Amino acid sequence: MKLRAYLVDDEPLALARLRRLLENSERVEVVGSTTRPEEAIAALTADPPDVCFLDIQMPRLNGFDVLAKLPRQPIVIFITAYDQYALKAFGVNSVDYLLKPVDPEALERALKKVEVLRNSGQPLHADLPTLLKQLTDSLREVKPKYLERIASRLGDRIWFIDLDRVTHFYAEEKLTYAASDGKAYSVDYSIADLEKKLDPKKFVRIHRGTLVSLAWMREVSSLPGGSLNIRLKDAKGTDLIVARDRAREFKTRAGC
C-alpha cells in the first residue's frame, strides 16, 4: 500500500519538484499540497495523511506552528534550506528532515523510515507538543544574518550593490533582477530565496515575482478587486502592484 503524503512548502517550484520526486518513487500517493500554512492546517485536520512533508521557514506560520495547531500529529518529514535547524530533536521516531534541494537518495531513506514507523504501529512521540514548543522557541531565538549587499555578475565582472540602493527585486523570464539607480542587475537568487535572505523589516514580497523595499515607497493606493498600487521614490516613479492575496499582510508590514 502506498504512503499517503501531504506536502507543504511556500515555494511553488520546490513543491512541484518534491511532488515529482515522490511520484517517481512509485511508493507515495500525494493526496494534497499547498503553499499556504493555514490551508495545510485545515487539510491535515480533516484528513490526516500517513506522512506530511513540511517546510520549516514559511511566512506567517512556520512548520512547527502548523504542527502545534493540529489535533492529531502525522509522521512528519521537515524540509529546510538551513542545516542549523537539523536539530537532534528531529531524530525522534515521529520526525525526520531533508535539506533543500531535496536529494533523491536522502528522500528514499526518509521514506523507508516512514514505512517502518507506519508498519510498526508505534505511537508518536509521547510529549510531541512540548517538543514542538521547544523547537518553535529555538527557531524564533535564532537571529538570522540578512544580506547587506548583493552581487551581480556581468561578463567577467561582479558588481556589488548596497541593498539600501535597491528599490525592488523582480522576476522576469526565469531570471531575477535587482532594480537600483534606474538599472536592472541580474542576481543569482530566486524571489523565494531572497524573501528568506533579506531583512523582513526592509523588504516585503508583494507578488509571487516581486519584492519591494519599504524605504523606497512614496505612496500606496487601492485598486479595483482588492489589489494595491505602490509608487516608488525612484527617478521613474515606478509603479508596482501588490497582489490581492498579499494586500493584508503588506498593509500590516508597511504600517498602512
- 128 and 216 housed in the same domain: no
The three three-digit cell numbers of residue 171, written as one number:
522576476
- 13 and 137 housed in the same domain: yes
- 8 and 131 housed in the same domain: yes
Average per-residue pLDDT for the chain: 85
* Three-state DSSP state, 163: helix
- 116 and 194 housed in the same domain: no
Structural domain count, the chain:
2
Whether the per-residue pLDDT at 128 is higher than 80: the answer is no
* Three-state DSSP state, 115: helix
Among 141, 158, 176, which residue terminates a domain?
A: 141
Confidence of residue 137 (pLDDT cuts 50, 70, 90): low
Looking at the DSSP assignment, which residues form a beta bridge with residue 220?
230
What are the φ/ψ torsions at residue 85 (nearest 5 degrees)?
-95, 0
Neighbours of 2 (CB within 10 A): 13
pLDDT single digits (tens) 172-225:
998 999 999 999 999 999 999 999 899 888 999 999 999 999 999 999 999 999
Which has the higher per-residue pLDDT, 215 or 1? 215
Residues 6+ apart with CB under 8 A from 148: 162, 163
Confidence of residue 97 (pLDDT cuts 50, 70, 90): confident
- 20 and 80 housed in the same domain: yes
Among 141, 176, 209, which residue terminates a domain?
A: 141
* CA within 13 Å, CB half, 32: 18
Distance from C-alpha of 253 to C-alpha of 256, rounded to nearest angstrom: 8
Radius of gyration of the chain (CA): 20
Domain that holds residue 157: 149-254
- 8 and 134 housed in the same domain: yes
Among 141, 170, 199, which residue terminates a domain?
A: 141
Whether the per-residue pLDDT at 86 is higher than 60: the answer is no
Q: What mean pLDDT is predicted for residues 229-235?
A: 96
Whether the per-residue pLDDT at 14 is higher than 90: the answer is no
The three three-digit cell numbers of residue 186, written as one number:
541580474
- 236 and 218 housed in the same domain: yes
- 180 and 112 housed in the same domain: no
